[in-house]
Chain A
Amino acid sequence: MEDEITPHPIKITINQDPDQNDKHCSSILTRLHAGYFRITLSLGAQALLWKTLVEHTHESLALQRVLRTLPSTVILLLWWLSLFTQLTLSLLYLLRCVRHFRMVKAEFSHYVGVNYLFAPWISWLLLLQSAPSVVPKIISYRIIWVFILPVVVLDVKIYGQWFTTEKRLLSIFANPTSQISVIGNLAGAWAAAEMGWRESAVCMFTLGATHYLVVLITLYQRLSGSCRIPARLRPVYFLFVAAPSMGSLAWNSISGSFDTSCKMLFFFSLFLFTSLFIVNKECTTIVAWWAYSFPVSFLALASAEYAQQVKGVVAPGLMLVLSVLSILVFLCLMMFTAFNTNLLFRENDPNFNKSLGNTIH
């Protein structure tokens, strides 16, 4: 801080960062928050969807016609893009932890921000699962634990707080982003099942399913004392769609086939999607828009699995519709973000910076 005192009007200039470059980096770091991982989450989900669709194409001729336009190079490109984005964001977030640890702490204390702390790990898990054959399986085998363990640790911390301490009463602090923690558990279960570890998969699935029940009921009740999500963050309601889809995918991997429970979870998320689709309207920040993409991708993935199990006309048709929708949403978001990158870090996320700002300064 430098104070410049002149004889005539006293002008006090406070210069926080003498270095302008530093200031720029710092402002990015200050504005970054875990919610930005929604982007990588969507990228990863999209890559996985394309990979799954291409795999299923072998079974369905109709699909082949449609998906012939997706050459494998595009899929590879998408995967590398998501990996790159994920690495960048992770690095930036690491820097933020180092330089602005108080802000990270504040994020952890915030009732919405804490849920987004699951997002990076889910993105990594999705990336690993959608890894093309270029990446050897053996690496995934070991690395996956690196990503599942933080989920469990966060679980213990957050879920424990729900039912023991007075700090985070669920009846007050439950909000749709609480489902991200559930999605984290279910994604861990799915990844573990894909790797072949059945018991761990069932364990993670149980954690996710139990807490999903609690969160779902609490959210549906919309208790009068509960915190409200600002209307501008409506995309978080699409998380209602993501959680059961992820559950259906996880159980599909665990049980080996798309049985009745998977179907029920898939239908439930389809129903929620339909009802939200009708109601949902607005959002403001670009990052919030990315919250539309991955739930639809999850739903499309689940429908792909469903179509694999149930032959006929309706199921593949549903898969087509949902996949196309998901791809379209994703492409629109990509283009919009690409043309408006300046807005990416400049905006004030209404739910984060305002309330976080109060706690920090």
Chain B
Amino acid sequence: MESSEHLGLSNQDSPEVVPSLIKFIDSNEVVGFDSDEDKNLENQYQTGFHSLTPSATETETAAVHSQSGHSHQRTCSISISMPSSPLEVHEQNSKRVLFRDHDEQIFNNRIAHSYVPSTNGGTKQAKFLSAPIPAGSAFDEAVALGLFPNRPVLPPKNPRIERLKDTRFDSFKTWSGKFEKQLSHLRGKPRETGPDANSPRKVEVETLPVDRYFDALEGPELDTLRPSHYVEKLGHFCFHKVPAYKPGCKPHPVVHSCCSIVAIVFVIYMLKVIFYFEAVRREYYHPIRINFFFAPWIALLFLAIGVPPSVAQNLHAALWYILMTPIFCLELKIYGQWMSGGQRRLSKVANPSNHLSIVGNFVGALLGASMGLKEGPIFFFAVGLAHYTVLFVTLYQRLPTNETLPKELHPVFFLFVAAPSVASMAWAKIQGSFDYGSRIAFFIALFLYFSLAVRVNFFRGFRFSLAWWAYTFPMTGAAIATIKYSNEVPNIVTKSLSVILCVIATLTVTSLLGTTILHALVLRDLFPNDIAIAISDKRPKTTRKWFHRRTVSSDKDIENYLKFSVSDGNDIEASLAPPSSITTTSIQNSGTAGTHSNQSPSGPEP
């Protein structure tokens, strides 16, 4: 894996100079830099962070400063350059830096922090930091567990690289890595010594207040959409099933592929839950990611809706109860938090991805009504409708306490269309016909679709990421609703509308699928590291800045966003404290260093 990692390294000679954005470094400059054949970047990470601090006019690349004096130990870190604001940066720089370090001497429990040389080029700019990606065994394990399911299995590690056990992921592991040690012990592997002596400081396992997330993270959590794109895929599968009745094409291959995808992802995520429970826990406390906990169940619900009719008759009602139970429990928790929880109030955390927690109700109502149940679907429809009203009004208000969604996450605005379209279908199923209630909901969905579709500029200007999958599910839902409506009200307008929407939805899904595969396998810039949840509960006392040098040419279009803020706006240009002040031994702190946000108001509205 080391060969495929992108690590930042720097040997900074002139710390006072801010490295230029695009810096070509000869590989000879860098000690231990690997040969060219390893330059193929197999992993390009996108972190879903995006700084909203305004007024930065250029991005800077951060690099990791290698620390040790006597050995060439470098931290493996990813360098991430961050645009200061979505609009400005995009105009200036679309190139981002990727770099790797092939020397896999990893700082075991230390992440070397580099400091951005302080130059005040007259502009106060937010420095953007990168967080290190731990290389080594933890990452391999992560890959093996399939955190990046689309990646091919990577070649075995370079034997010349000392396989130091990277303990930086330990705090994410279940029982902080002890579980793993137990396992390996049980398997008879010799305990790895040395680096383990410096056991990582145990991260406080506690709930992070949502403020910390908003402090530390802003911007597109591009990696949060990973589970969701399966929702869209299955939604689209469901959509394919509807017209499949007429032309008579066989839906079975699609069924099988979707089922297998869901099963694979489930297994992978279960493994993650087992081995990296802390990471999952932190995802749960993340204000955006928590909504995606609904995604697997919605996916399964759609699968159940979309099974071939021969199977649909045999589906037992118990399946509905089984599928709705986790949704119900999650809802109790999340809506309760909105109403009376501590910090996670709606005026603060509302964002379009909250729609995912509402859509589950409507999808469940749709499935239940299709199965013939009566009261259960009405129950979930009522709950969903009430909370949808609240959320809808809140999002429309764009309260000043809400964080503005950055440009890279604009595709999730399409989720506005998803809820009313599924609600209209569900109500039609409950009532038995596409009556006025369904039509009202359908027209709302249609209006939102059009008003979003004409805003071309709103959805332009950012590169491909997994967030783009947020287009597919709502488009598909709207297309299905239009089909049902045109069945009820058959005339030329509705029929042509349904055809157009179907074509658009199908095209979107196929092109997204193709682009995803392209980016995942060929360009390999799709799956970021999980820095979104790698924040600690404490802010570091000192401001730490990162910078890295580009080690590879910047042909690759990687946009990595990492939120950075200084605790004190004045010392944004200040030089960093020497590495000895670094006390963190875990990725959290290193991630934290780069992920504190300034609480200043967000930049220009996209």
- Taking Cβ atoms with an 8 Å cutoff, the residues of A that contact B are 213, 216-217, 219-224, 237, 240, 260, 263-265, 267-268, 270-272, 274-276, 278-279, 310, 314-315
Given known contacts A221-B347, A278-B336, A271 and B394 CB-to-CB distance under 8 angstroms: no
Q: Are B378 and A264 in contact (CB under 8 A)?
A: yes
**Complex-state Cα separation, A213 to B346, whole angstroms:** 16
Q: Are B332 and A217 in contact (CB under 8 A)?
A: no
**Complex-state Cα separation, A272 to B345, whole angstroms:** 16
Q: Are A224 and B348 in contact (CB under 8 A)?
A: yes
Given known contacts A268-B386, A274-B332, A278-B332, A220 and B339 CB-to-CB distance under 8 angstroms: yes
Q: Are A260 and B339 in contact (CB under 8 A)?
A: no
Q: Are A275 and B339 in contact (CB under 8 A)?
A: yes
Indicate whether B14 reaches chain A with its CB closer than 8 angstroms. Answer: no
Contacts of B24 in A (CB 8 A): none
- Closest Cβ of chain A to B529, distance in Å, is 33
Q: Are A275 and B332 in contact (CB under 8 A)?
A: yes
Indicate whether B389 reaches chain A with its CB closer than 8 angstroms. Answer: yes
- Closest Cβ of chain A to B516, distance in Å, is 36
Q: State the main secondary structure of chain B at its contact with A.
A: helix
- Closest Cβ of chain A to B387, distance in Å, is 8
Contacts of A268 in B (CB 8 A): 382-383, 386
Q: Are B385 and A217 in contact (CB under 8 A)?
A: no
**Complex-state Cα separation, A314 to B401, whole angstroms:** 43
Given known contacts A224-B347, A279-B340, A216 and B382 CB-to-CB distance under 8 angstroms: no
**Complex-state Cα separation, A151 to B565, whole angstroms:** 53
Closest to B341 in A: A279
Contacts of B347 in A (CB 8 A): 221-224
Contacts of A260 in B (CB 8 A): 378, 430-431
- Closest Cβ of chain B to A51, distance in Å, is 26
Q: Are B386 and A314 in contact (CB under 8 A)?
A: no
Q: Are A217 and B382 in contact (CB under 8 A)?
A: no
Identify the 10 closest CB pairs spanning chains A and B, nearest first. A264-B382, A222-B345, A275-B336, A267-B379, A267-B382, A220-B390, A221-B347, A275-B332, A223-B347, A271-B383
Question: Interface size bucket, B side?
Answer: 20 to 34
- Closest Cβ of chain A to B122, distance in Å, is 36
Q: Are B335 and A216 in contact (CB under 8 A)?
A: no
Given known contacts A217-B394, A264-B385, A222 and B346 CB-to-CB distance under 8 angstroms: yes
Given known contacts A222-B346, A224-B348, A314-B375, A275 and B335 CB-to-CB distance under 8 angstroms: yes
**Complex-state Cα separation, A263 to B430, whole angstroms:** 13
21 A-B residue pairs with CB within 8 Å: A213-B389, A216-B389, A217-B394, A220-B346, A220-B387, A220-B390, A221-B350, A221-B394, A221-B399, A222-B339, A223-B347, A224-B345, A237-B339, A237-B340, A263-B378, A267-B383, A268-B383, A268-B386, A271-B332, A272-B339, A275-B339
Contacts of B383 in A (CB 8 A): 267-268, 271
Contacts of A279 in B (CB 8 A): 336, 340-341
**Complex-state Cα separation, A168 to B345, whole angstroms:** 22
Q: Which residues of B297-352 are within 8 A (CB) of A?
A: 331-332, 335-336, 338-341, 345-348, 350
Q: Are A223 and B386 in contact (CB under 8 A)?
A: no
Contacts of B331 in A (CB 8 A): 271
Q: Are B338 and A220 in contact (CB under 8 A)?
A: yes
**Complex-state Cα separation, A279 to B389, whole angstroms:** 23
Indicate whether B381 reaches chain A with its CB closer than 8 angstroms. Answer: yes
**Complex-state Cα separation, A279 to B336, whole angstroms:** 8
Contacts of A274 in B (CB 8 A): 332
- Closest Cβ of chain A to B336, distance in Å, is 4
Given known contacts A223-B401, A271-B383, A263 and B394 CB-to-CB distance under 8 angstroms: no
Contacts of A264 in B (CB 8 A): 378, 381-382, 385
**Complex-state Cα separation, A216 to B347, whole angstroms:** 13
Q: Are A267 and B332 in contact (CB under 8 A)?
A: no
Using an 8 Å CB-CB cutoff, how does the interface string of B428-465 with A read, 1 for contact, 0 for none? 00110000000000000000000000000000000000
Closest to B380 in A: A267
Contacts of B350 in A (CB 8 A): 221
Closest to A270 in B: B379
Indicate whether B393 reaches chain A with its CB closer than 8 angstroms. Answer: yes
Contacts of A219 in B (CB 8 A): 339
- Closest Cβ of chain A to B397, distance in Å, is 8
Contacts of B390 in A (CB 8 A): 216-217, 220-221
B346, B348, B382, B393: the one within 8 Å of A263 (CB) = B382
A223, A240, A265, A267: the one within 8 Å of B339 (CB) = A240
**Complex-state Cα separation, A219 to B394, whole angstroms:** 11
Contacts of A275 in B (CB 8 A): 332, 335-336, 339
Interface centre among B338, B347, B397 (most CB of A within 10 A): B347
**Complex-state Cα separation, A17 to B383, whole angstroms:** 56
Contacts of A276 in B (CB 8 A): 336, 340
Closest to B374 in A: A310
Contacts of B348 in A (CB 8 A): 224
**Complex-state Cα separation, A220 to B346, whole angstroms:** 7
**Complex-state Cα separation, A310 to B376, whole angstroms:** 13
Closest to B379 in A: A267
Contacts of B393 in A (CB 8 A): 217
- Closest Cβ of chain A to B334, distance in Å, is 9
- Closest Cβ of chain A to B579, distance in Å, is 39
- Closest Cβ of chain A to B351, distance in Å, is 13
